[in-house]
Amino acid sequence: MPEKTNRKGIIVDIAQGLFSRFGFLKTTIDEIAKAARMGKASLYHYFRNKEDIFREVINKESKVLSNKIREAVDKEETPQEKIKAFIITRMKYLKELVNIYAALKDEYLTHYAFIEKARENNYKEEIETVKAILDEGIAKKIFIAPDVELTSFAIISALKGLEYPWTIKIPVPELEDNLNKLLEILFNGIVKK
Amino acid sequence: MPEKTNRKGIIVDIAQGLFSRFGFLKTTIDEIAKAARMGKASLYHYFRNKEDIFREVINKESKVLSNKIREAVDKEETPQEKIKAFIITRMKYLKELVNIYAALKDEYLTHYAFIEKARENNYKEEIETVKAILDEGIAKKIFIAPDVELTSFAIISALKGLEYPWTIKIPVPELEDNLNKLLEILFNGIVKK
DNA sequence: AAATAGAACATAAAACAAATATGTTCGAAC
DNA sequence: GTTCGAACATATTTGTTTTATGTTCTATTT
Protein backbone atom coordinates (compact mmCIF):
# COMPACT_ATOMS: atom_id res chain seq x y z
CA MET A 1 0.00 0.00 0.00
CA PRO A 2 1.73 3.19 -1.12
CA GLU A 3 0.93 6.26 0.98
CA LYS A 4 -1.03 8.73 -1.10
CA THR A 5 0.73 12.04 -0.81
CA ASN A 6 0.04 13.15 -4.35
CA ARG A 7 -3.07 15.27 -4.65
CA LYS A 8 -4.03 13.86 -8.00
CA GLY A 9 -4.28 10.30 -6.74
CA ILE A 10 -6.36 11.45 -3.79
CA ILE A 11 -8.73 13.32 -6.02
CA VAL A 12 -9.14 10.26 -8.21
CA ASP A 13 -9.97 8.21 -5.13
CA ILE A 14 -12.58 10.69 -3.99
CA ALA A 15 -14.05 10.97 -7.47
CA GLN A 16 -14.20 7.19 -7.67
CA GLY A 17 -16.42 7.09 -4.60
CA LEU A 18 -18.77 9.76 -5.90
CA PHE A 19 -18.96 8.33 -9.40
CA SER A 20 -19.68 4.92 -7.89
CA ARG A 21 -22.65 6.25 -5.98
CA PHE A 22 -24.12 8.76 -8.42
CA GLY A 23 -22.69 7.90 -11.82
CA PHE A 24 -20.79 10.08 -14.25
CA LEU A 25 -23.64 12.40 -15.20
CA LYS A 26 -25.04 12.98 -11.73
CA THR A 27 -21.71 13.70 -10.11
CA THR A 28 -20.69 17.34 -10.38
CA ILE A 29 -17.27 18.88 -10.47
CA ASP A 30 -18.33 20.96 -7.51
CA GLU A 31 -19.17 17.90 -5.45
CA ILE A 32 -15.82 16.33 -6.20
CA ALA A 33 -14.08 19.57 -5.32
CA LYS A 34 -15.95 19.98 -2.06
CA ALA A 35 -15.34 16.38 -1.07
CA ALA A 36 -11.65 17.06 -1.67
CA ARG A 37 -11.90 20.33 0.25
CA MET A 38 -10.96 22.44 -2.75
CA GLY A 39 -12.49 25.02 -4.99
CA LYS A 40 -13.63 23.44 -8.21
CA ALA A 41 -11.31 25.61 -10.27
CA SER A 42 -8.39 23.90 -8.56
CA LEU A 43 -9.34 20.56 -10.08
CA TYR A 44 -8.44 21.97 -13.48
CA HIS A 45 -4.86 22.17 -12.41
CA TYR A 46 -4.80 18.38 -12.34
CA PHE A 47 -7.35 17.43 -14.97
CA ARG A 48 -8.24 18.78 -18.39
CA ASN A 49 -11.98 18.34 -17.78
CA LYS A 50 -14.64 16.14 -16.19
CA GLU A 51 -14.20 13.33 -18.68
CA ASP A 52 -10.53 13.30 -17.83
CA ILE A 53 -11.29 12.59 -14.19
CA PHE A 54 -13.66 9.78 -15.06
CA ARG A 55 -11.13 8.37 -17.47
CA GLU A 56 -8.57 8.15 -14.70
CA VAL A 57 -11.08 6.44 -12.41
CA ILE A 58 -11.83 3.93 -15.12
CA ASN A 59 -8.16 3.36 -15.82
CA LYS A 60 -7.61 2.69 -12.16
CA GLU A 61 -10.45 0.20 -11.94
CA SER A 62 -9.37 -1.43 -15.19
CA LYS A 63 -5.96 -2.09 -13.76
CA VAL A 64 -7.44 -3.54 -10.58
CA LEU A 65 -9.61 -5.86 -12.64
CA SER A 66 -6.76 -6.90 -14.90
CA ASN A 67 -4.55 -7.64 -11.93
CA LYS A 68 -7.20 -9.65 -10.11
CA ILE A 69 -7.78 -11.70 -13.22
CA ARG A 70 -4.11 -12.22 -13.91
CA GLU A 71 -3.49 -13.32 -10.32
CA ALA A 72 -6.41 -15.74 -10.37
CA VAL A 73 -5.44 -17.22 -13.71
CA ASP A 74 -1.75 -17.52 -12.86
CA LYS A 75 -2.62 -19.34 -9.65
CA GLU A 76 -4.22 -22.22 -11.56
CA GLU A 77 -2.32 -25.08 -13.12
CA THR A 78 -4.40 -26.53 -15.95
CA PRO A 79 -5.77 -24.44 -18.82
CA GLN A 80 -9.23 -25.72 -17.92
CA GLU A 81 -8.92 -24.28 -14.42
CA LYS A 82 -7.46 -21.08 -15.85
CA ILE A 83 -10.50 -20.51 -18.05
CA LYS A 84 -12.79 -21.08 -15.13
CA ALA A 85 -10.74 -18.73 -12.96
CA PHE A 86 -10.89 -16.09 -15.67
CA ILE A 87 -14.66 -16.25 -15.95
CA ILE A 88 -15.39 -16.31 -12.24
CA THR A 89 -12.94 -13.60 -11.35
CA ARG A 90 -14.15 -11.40 -14.15
CA MET A 91 -17.77 -11.74 -13.10
CA LYS A 92 -17.01 -11.18 -9.45
CA TYR A 93 -14.91 -8.04 -9.74
CA LEU A 94 -16.74 -6.49 -12.63
CA LYS A 95 -19.75 -6.19 -10.37
CA GLU A 96 -17.70 -4.62 -7.60
CA LEU A 97 -15.91 -2.11 -9.80
CA VAL A 98 -18.97 0.01 -10.38
CA ASN A 99 -17.47 2.58 -12.70
CA ILE A 100 -15.81 0.29 -15.16
CA TYR A 101 -18.98 -1.77 -15.14
CA ALA A 102 -20.99 1.34 -16.01
CA ALA A 103 -18.45 2.32 -18.65
CA LEU A 104 -18.82 -1.06 -20.32
CA LYS A 105 -22.56 -1.50 -20.01
CA ASP A 106 -24.52 1.71 -19.58
CA GLU A 107 -26.32 2.80 -22.68
CA TYR A 108 -26.23 6.47 -21.76
CA LEU A 109 -22.43 6.53 -21.89
CA THR A 110 -22.19 5.00 -25.34
CA HIS A 111 -21.74 8.27 -27.19
CA TYR A 112 -18.60 9.41 -25.39
CA ALA A 113 -15.50 8.71 -27.43
CA PHE A 114 -13.38 7.90 -24.40
CA ILE A 115 -15.96 5.36 -23.25
CA GLU A 116 -15.87 3.64 -26.62
CA LYS A 117 -12.10 3.52 -26.29
CA ALA A 118 -12.37 1.95 -22.85
CA ARG A 119 -14.79 -0.65 -24.15
CA GLU A 120 -12.57 -1.51 -27.05
CA ASN A 121 -9.53 -1.82 -24.83
CA ASN A 122 -11.39 -4.02 -22.41
CA TYR A 123 -12.70 -6.20 -25.20
CA LYS A 124 -9.27 -6.65 -26.73
CA GLU A 125 -7.73 -7.45 -23.39
CA GLU A 126 -10.34 -10.07 -22.63
CA ILE A 127 -9.89 -11.69 -26.00
CA GLU A 128 -6.14 -11.68 -25.49
CA THR A 129 -6.43 -13.23 -22.05
CA VAL A 130 -8.54 -16.11 -23.30
CA LYS A 131 -6.38 -16.53 -26.36
CA ALA A 132 -3.28 -16.83 -24.20
CA ILE A 133 -4.93 -19.56 -22.14
CA LEU A 134 -6.04 -21.43 -25.25
CA ASP A 135 -2.59 -21.14 -26.81
CA GLU A 136 -1.01 -22.48 -23.66
CA GLY A 137 -3.49 -25.35 -23.63
CA ILE A 138 -2.61 -26.15 -27.21
CA ALA A 139 1.11 -25.97 -26.53
CA LYS A 140 0.62 -28.41 -23.68
CA LYS A 141 -1.28 -30.75 -26.04
CA ILE A 142 -4.38 -30.47 -23.89
CA PHE A 143 -6.53 -28.50 -26.28
CA ILE A 144 -6.97 -29.17 -29.97
CA ALA A 145 -5.98 -26.29 -32.23
CA PRO A 146 -8.89 -24.97 -34.26
CA ASP A 147 -9.44 -21.29 -34.93
CA VAL A 148 -8.12 -19.81 -31.68
CA GLU A 149 -9.10 -16.27 -32.61
CA LEU A 150 -12.69 -17.31 -33.28
CA THR A 151 -12.86 -19.49 -30.19
CA SER A 152 -11.73 -16.65 -27.93
CA PHE A 153 -14.23 -14.33 -29.54
CA ALA A 154 -16.96 -16.91 -29.07
CA ILE A 155 -16.14 -17.52 -25.42
CA ILE A 156 -16.19 -13.80 -24.64
CA SER A 157 -19.37 -13.16 -26.63
CA ALA A 158 -21.16 -16.13 -25.15
CA LEU A 159 -20.08 -14.99 -21.71
CA LYS A 160 -21.61 -11.59 -22.32
CA GLY A 161 -24.83 -13.28 -23.42
CA LEU A 162 -24.92 -15.41 -20.30
CA GLU A 163 -23.84 -12.65 -17.97
CA TYR A 164 -27.06 -10.70 -17.86
CA PRO A 165 -29.65 -13.45 -17.26
CA TRP A 166 -27.19 -15.19 -15.01
CA THR A 167 -26.43 -12.39 -12.61
CA ILE A 168 -30.07 -11.35 -12.48
CA LYS A 169 -31.82 -14.60 -11.87
CA ILE A 170 -29.41 -16.92 -10.19
CA PRO A 171 -27.82 -17.04 -6.72
CA VAL A 172 -24.04 -17.27 -6.58
CA PRO A 173 -23.41 -20.85 -5.39
CA GLU A 174 -25.75 -22.26 -8.00
CA LEU A 175 -23.97 -20.09 -10.51
CA GLU A 176 -20.62 -21.77 -10.01
CA ASP A 177 -22.31 -25.13 -10.28
CA ASN A 178 -23.84 -24.10 -13.60
CA LEU A 179 -20.59 -22.69 -14.86
CA ASN A 180 -18.90 -26.03 -14.19
CA LYS A 181 -21.49 -27.83 -16.26
CA LEU A 182 -21.12 -25.40 -19.15
CA LEU A 183 -17.34 -25.60 -19.04
CA GLU A 184 -17.73 -29.35 -19.21
CA ILE A 185 -19.52 -28.77 -22.52
CA LEU A 186 -16.90 -26.35 -23.75
CA PHE A 187 -14.20 -28.85 -22.93
CA ASN A 188 -15.81 -32.13 -24.00
CA GLY A 189 -18.88 -31.27 -26.06
CA ILE A 190 -22.30 -32.83 -25.96
CA VAL A 191 -21.77 -35.62 -28.46
CA LYS A 192 -21.41 -39.10 -27.03
CA LYS A 193 -18.02 -40.71 -27.66
CA MET B 1 -52.95 -18.48 -49.69
CA PRO B 2 -56.32 -17.52 -48.19
CA GLU B 3 -57.95 -14.49 -49.79
CA LYS B 4 -58.20 -11.69 -47.30
CA THR B 5 -61.80 -10.63 -47.19
CA ASN B 6 -61.86 -9.84 -43.51
CA ARG B 7 -61.16 -6.23 -42.76
CA LYS B 8 -59.24 -6.96 -39.60
CA GLY B 9 -56.61 -9.03 -41.37
CA ILE B 10 -56.17 -6.35 -43.99
CA ILE B 11 -55.71 -3.67 -41.37
CA VAL B 12 -53.10 -5.79 -39.63
CA ASP B 13 -51.24 -6.17 -42.93
CA ILE B 14 -51.29 -2.44 -43.53
CA ALA B 15 -50.22 -1.70 -39.99
CA GLN B 16 -47.40 -4.21 -40.33
CA GLY B 17 -46.00 -2.26 -43.27
CA LEU B 18 -46.18 1.06 -41.45
CA PHE B 19 -44.78 -0.27 -38.19
CA SER B 20 -41.95 -1.88 -40.14
CA ARG B 21 -40.96 1.42 -41.67
CA PHE B 22 -41.56 3.84 -38.82
CA GLY B 23 -41.72 1.75 -35.66
CA PHE B 24 -44.44 1.53 -33.05
CA LEU B 25 -44.07 5.02 -31.60
CA LYS B 26 -43.71 6.91 -34.87
CA THR B 27 -46.67 5.26 -36.54
CA THR B 28 -49.97 6.98 -35.75
CA ILE B 29 -53.45 5.57 -35.66
CA ASP B 30 -54.41 8.20 -38.18
CA GLU B 31 -51.77 6.99 -40.65
CA ILE B 32 -52.94 3.42 -40.34
CA ALA B 33 -56.54 4.51 -40.81
CA LYS B 34 -55.73 6.60 -43.87
CA ALA B 35 -53.66 3.85 -45.42
CA ALA B 36 -56.70 1.60 -44.94
CA ARG B 37 -58.99 4.31 -46.31
CA MET B 38 -60.94 4.61 -43.10
CA GLY B 39 -61.58 7.16 -40.43
CA LYS B 40 -59.42 6.44 -37.39
CA ALA B 41 -62.44 5.96 -35.16
CA SER B 42 -63.37 2.97 -37.26
CA LEU B 43 -60.23 1.13 -36.22
CA TYR B 44 -61.62 0.95 -32.72
CA HIS B 45 -64.33 -1.32 -33.95
CA TYR B 46 -61.67 -3.96 -34.58
CA PHE B 47 -59.03 -3.16 -32.00
CA ARG B 48 -59.12 -2.11 -28.38
CA ASN B 49 -56.25 0.35 -28.83
CA LYS B 50 -52.94 0.99 -30.58
CA GLU B 51 -51.07 -1.62 -28.57
CA ASP B 52 -53.65 -4.14 -29.61
CA ILE B 53 -52.85 -3.55 -33.28
CA PHE B 54 -49.14 -3.88 -32.70
CA ARG B 55 -49.72 -7.02 -30.67
CA GLU B 56 -51.53 -8.61 -33.59
CA VAL B 57 -48.71 -7.64 -35.94
CA ILE B 58 -46.20 -9.20 -33.58
CA ASN B 59 -48.28 -12.33 -33.19
CA LYS B 60 -48.43 -12.68 -36.93
CA GLU B 61 -44.68 -12.30 -37.34
CA SER B 62 -44.04 -14.64 -34.43
CA LYS B 63 -46.01 -17.35 -36.12
CA VAL B 64 -44.13 -16.85 -39.38
CA LEU B 65 -40.85 -17.14 -37.53
CA SER B 66 -41.93 -20.23 -35.62
CA ASN B 67 -43.10 -21.93 -38.79
CA LYS B 68 -39.93 -21.15 -40.70
CA ILE B 69 -37.87 -22.55 -37.87
CA ARG B 70 -40.00 -25.64 -37.47
CA GLU B 71 -39.84 -26.36 -41.21
CA ALA B 72 -36.07 -25.90 -41.32
CA VAL B 73 -35.49 -28.06 -38.26
CA ASP B 74 -37.86 -30.82 -39.36
CA LYS B 75 -36.13 -31.01 -42.72
CA GLU B 76 -32.86 -32.08 -41.13
CA GLU B 77 -32.02 -35.61 -40.08
CA THR B 78 -29.37 -35.49 -37.36
CA PRO B 79 -29.76 -33.47 -34.17
CA GLN B 80 -26.50 -31.71 -35.02
CA GLU B 81 -27.94 -30.49 -38.30
CA LYS B 82 -31.16 -29.54 -36.55
CA ILE B 83 -29.36 -27.27 -34.12
CA LYS B 84 -27.52 -25.63 -36.96
CA ALA B 85 -30.75 -25.19 -38.90
CA PHE B 86 -32.40 -23.65 -35.86
CA ILE B 87 -29.64 -21.09 -35.37
CA ILE B 88 -29.32 -20.09 -39.02
CA THR B 89 -33.04 -19.88 -39.67
CA ARG B 90 -33.60 -17.90 -36.52
CA MET B 91 -30.90 -15.38 -37.42
CA LYS B 92 -32.07 -15.04 -40.98
CA TYR B 93 -35.77 -14.46 -40.39
CA LEU B 94 -35.45 -12.48 -37.21
CA LYS B 95 -33.71 -9.78 -39.22
CA GLU B 96 -36.42 -9.82 -41.87
CA LEU B 97 -39.34 -9.67 -39.45
CA VAL B 98 -38.72 -6.11 -38.42
CA ASN B 99 -41.47 -5.75 -35.85
CA ILE B 100 -40.82 -8.84 -33.84
CA TYR B 101 -37.14 -7.98 -33.97
CA ALA B 102 -37.93 -4.54 -32.57
CA ALA B 103 -40.22 -6.06 -29.95
CA LEU B 104 -37.42 -8.34 -28.76
CA LYS B 105 -34.50 -5.91 -28.91
CA ASP B 106 -35.49 -2.26 -28.78
CA GLU B 107 -34.82 -0.64 -25.49
CA TYR B 108 -37.59 1.93 -25.84
CA LEU B 109 -40.25 -0.78 -25.92
CA THR B 110 -39.09 -2.46 -22.74
CA HIS B 111 -41.65 -0.83 -20.48
CA TYR B 112 -44.77 -2.04 -22.27
CA ALA B 113 -46.27 -5.03 -20.54
CA PHE B 114 -47.38 -6.69 -23.76
CA ILE B 115 -43.83 -6.41 -25.12
CA GLU B 116 -42.46 -8.11 -22.04
CA LYS B 117 -44.99 -10.86 -22.58
CA ALA B 118 -43.91 -11.26 -26.20
CA ARG B 119 -40.28 -11.49 -25.14
CA GLU B 120 -41.03 -14.06 -22.51
CA ASN B 121 -43.06 -16.15 -24.93
CA ASN B 122 -40.33 -15.97 -27.53
CA TYR B 123 -37.69 -16.90 -24.98
CA LYS B 124 -39.65 -19.88 -23.74
CA GLU B 125 -40.35 -21.09 -27.24
CA GLU B 126 -36.69 -20.90 -28.19
CA ILE B 127 -35.65 -22.78 -25.10
CA GLU B 128 -38.29 -25.41 -25.82
CA THR B 129 -37.17 -25.79 -29.42
CA VAL B 130 -33.56 -26.39 -28.44
CA LYS B 131 -34.59 -28.65 -25.59
CA ALA B 132 -36.63 -30.81 -27.96
CA ILE B 133 -33.64 -31.20 -30.26
CA LEU B 134 -31.37 -32.09 -27.38
CA ASP B 135 -33.86 -34.58 -25.99
CA GLU B 136 -34.18 -36.20 -29.38
CA GLY B 137 -30.40 -36.41 -29.66
CA ILE B 138 -30.22 -38.04 -26.26
CA ALA B 139 -32.97 -40.51 -27.14
CA LYS B 140 -31.02 -41.44 -30.24
CA LYS B 141 -27.90 -41.98 -28.13
CA ILE B 142 -26.07 -39.26 -30.04
CA PHE B 143 -25.85 -36.69 -27.27
CA ILE B 144 -24.84 -37.32 -23.70
CA ALA B 145 -27.47 -36.39 -21.14
CA PRO B 146 -26.31 -33.67 -18.80
CA ASP B 147 -28.52 -30.85 -17.61
CA VAL B 148 -30.71 -30.35 -20.69
CA GLU B 149 -32.52 -27.36 -19.23
CA LEU B 150 -29.24 -25.58 -18.49
CA THR B 151 -27.74 -26.53 -21.83
CA SER B 152 -30.68 -25.09 -23.76
CA PHE B 153 -30.53 -21.95 -21.71
CA ALA B 154 -26.81 -21.67 -22.36
CA ILE B 155 -27.15 -22.18 -26.10
CA ILE B 156 -29.83 -19.51 -26.37
CA SER B 157 -27.99 -17.06 -24.14
CA ALA B 158 -24.70 -17.60 -25.90
CA LEU B 159 -26.47 -17.12 -29.20
CA LYS B 160 -27.81 -13.78 -28.05
CA GLY B 161 -24.32 -12.78 -27.00
CA LEU B 162 -22.89 -13.74 -30.37
CA GLU B 163 -25.74 -12.30 -32.37
CA TYR B 164 -24.93 -8.66 -32.04
CA PRO B 165 -21.19 -8.58 -32.81
CA TRP B 166 -21.76 -11.24 -35.44
CA THR B 167 -24.43 -9.55 -37.48
CA ILE B 168 -22.68 -6.22 -37.28
CA LYS B 169 -19.13 -7.08 -38.18
CA ILE B 170 -19.24 -10.19 -40.29
CA PRO B 171 -20.43 -10.95 -43.85
CA VAL B 172 -22.93 -13.80 -44.24
CA PRO B 173 -20.85 -16.54 -45.94
CA GLU B 174 -18.07 -16.15 -43.40
CA LEU B 175 -20.74 -16.29 -40.73
CA GLU B 176 -21.89 -19.77 -41.64
CA ASP B 177 -18.29 -20.89 -41.72
CA ASN B 178 -17.76 -19.51 -38.22
CA LEU B 179 -20.96 -21.09 -36.98
CA ASN B 180 -19.78 -24.47 -38.17
CA LYS B 181 -16.56 -24.12 -36.22
CA LEU B 182 -18.41 -23.13 -33.07
CA LEU B 183 -20.90 -25.96 -33.41
CA GLU B 184 -17.91 -28.25 -33.73
CA ILE B 185 -16.88 -27.02 -30.29
CA LEU B 186 -20.38 -27.43 -28.89
CA PHE B 187 -20.49 -30.98 -30.20
CA ASN B 188 -16.97 -32.17 -29.48
CA GLY B 189 -15.35 -29.67 -27.14
CA ILE B 190 -11.86 -28.24 -27.27
CA VAL B 191 -10.07 -30.86 -25.20
CA LYS B 192 -7.89 -33.30 -27.07
CA LYS B 193 -9.05 -36.92 -26.88
C1' DA C 1 -76.66 -6.01 -35.67
C1' DA C 2 -72.27 -4.69 -37.87
C1' DA C 3 -69.55 -1.13 -39.77
C1' DT C 4 -68.37 3.61 -40.40
C1' DA C 5 -66.89 8.15 -39.19
C1' DG C 6 -67.44 13.27 -37.54
C1' DA C 7 -66.86 15.58 -33.57
C1' DA C 8 -65.48 16.01 -28.89
C1' DC C 9 -62.37 14.86 -25.20
C1' DA C 10 -58.31 13.83 -22.40
C1' DT C 11 -53.80 13.17 -22.41
C1' DA C 12 -49.12 12.95 -24.31
C1' DA C 13 -45.64 15.10 -26.92
C1' DA C 14 -43.37 19.20 -28.85
C1' DA C 15 -42.09 23.89 -28.73
C1' DC C 16 -40.80 27.70 -26.37
C1' DA C 17 -38.94 30.83 -22.82
C1' DA C 18 -37.06 31.87 -18.33
C1' DA C 19 -34.51 30.40 -14.54
C1' DT C 20 -31.04 27.60 -12.69
C1' DA C 21 -27.11 24.57 -12.53
C1' DT C 22 -22.79 23.09 -14.23
C1' DG C 23 -18.44 22.79 -16.73
C1' DT C 24 -14.72 25.55 -18.00
C1' DT C 25 -11.56 29.57 -18.27
C1' DC C 26 -9.04 33.62 -16.51
C1' DG C 27 -6.40 36.30 -13.68
C1' DA C 28 -4.70 37.18 -9.33
C1' DA C 29 -2.84 35.63 -4.96
C1' DC C 30 -0.24 32.56 -2.17
C1' DG D 1 3.55 24.94 -8.48
C1' DT D 2 -1.14 25.44 -6.18
C1' DT D 3 -5.21 27.52 -4.99
C1' DC D 4 -9.51 29.85 -5.81
C1' DG D 5 -13.01 33.82 -6.57
C1' DA D 6 -15.24 35.54 -10.18
C1' DA D 7 -16.82 35.54 -14.78
C1' DC D 8 -18.45 33.10 -18.81
C1' DA D 9 -20.73 30.04 -21.93
C1' DT D 10 -23.36 26.32 -22.23
C1' DA D 11 -26.31 22.56 -20.63
C1' DT D 12 -30.10 21.30 -17.87
C1' DT D 13 -34.31 22.04 -15.57
C1' DT D 14 -38.71 24.09 -14.98
C1' DG D 15 -42.94 26.00 -16.05
C1' DT D 16 -46.10 27.26 -19.73
C1' DT D 17 -48.43 27.06 -24.01
C1' DT D 18 -49.47 24.88 -28.12
C1' DT D 19 -49.96 21.07 -30.96
C1' DA D 20 -50.50 16.22 -31.99
C1' DT D 21 -52.39 11.88 -30.93
C1' DG D 22 -55.06 8.19 -28.84
C1' DT D 23 -59.53 7.24 -27.38
C1' DT D 24 -64.55 7.69 -26.67
C1' DC D 25 -69.24 9.11 -27.87
C1' DT D 26 -72.97 9.43 -30.70
C1' DA D 27 -75.27 9.39 -34.89
C1' DT D 28 -75.62 7.50 -39.52
C1' DT D 29 -75.24 4.08 -43.00
C1' DT D 30 -75.08 -0.58 -44.63
Based on the domain organization, do B58 and B136 belong to the same domain?
Answer: yes
B193, part of any domain: no
Q: What is the per-residue pLDDT for B54?
A: 97
**Residue A2 pLDDT grade (very low, low, confident, very high; cuts 50, 70, 90):** low
Q: How far is the CA of A54 from the C1' of D1 (A)?
A: 24
Based on the domain organization, do B105 and B175 belong to the same domain?
Answer: yes
Q: Which of residues 7-36 of B touch strand D (CB under 7 A)?
A: 27-30
Taking all residues of chain A, what is their mean pLDDT, rounded to a whole number? 94
Q: What is the per-residue pLDDT for A1?
A: 53
Based on the domain organization, do B37 and B97 belong to the same domain?
Answer: no
| Domain count for chain A | 2
Nearest residue of A to residue B170, measured between CA atoms: A150
Based on the domain organization, do B108 and B184 belong to the same domain?
Answer: yes
**Residue A88 pLDDT grade (very low, low, confident, very high; cuts 50, 70, 90):** very high
Are B83 and B69 in contact by the 8 Å Cβ rule? The answer is no
Q: Which chain D nucleotides are covered by protein, judged by CB under 7 A?
A: 2-6, 12, 20-26
Helix, strand or coil, per DSSP, at residue A56: helix
What single-letter amino acid sits at B186?
A: L
Among the partner-chain residues A144, A158, A162, the one whose CB lies closest to the CB of B190 is A144
Closest CA to B148 of B94, B83, B193: B83
Q: What is the per-residue pLDDT for B169?
A: 80
pLDDT in tens, A36-75: 999 999 999 999 999 999 999 999 999 999 999 999 999 9
Q: Which residues of chain B have pLDDT under 50?
A: 1-2
Rounded CA gap, A115 and A59, in Å? 11
Q: Which chain C nucleotides are covered by protein, judged by CB under 7 A?
A: 3-7, 21-27
Q: How far is the CA of B1 from the C1' of D28 (A)?
A: 36
Based on the domain organization, do B109 and B184 belong to the same domain?
Answer: yes
Domain residues for the domain of B117 are: 50-188
Contact B192 A144 (CB under 8 A): yes
CATH number, domain of B16, equals: 1.10.10.60
CATH number, domain of B184, equals: 1.10.357.10
Interface test with B, best of A183, A190, A191 (most B CBs within 10 A): A190
A168, part of any domain: yes
A190 contacts in chain B (CB < 8 Å): 134, 137, 143-144, 146, 151, 186-187
A193, part of any domain: no
Residue A12: pLDDT over 70: yes
Burial class of residue A105 in the structure, from the number of CB atoms within 10 Å of its CB (0-12 exposed, 13-18 middle, 19+ buried)? middle
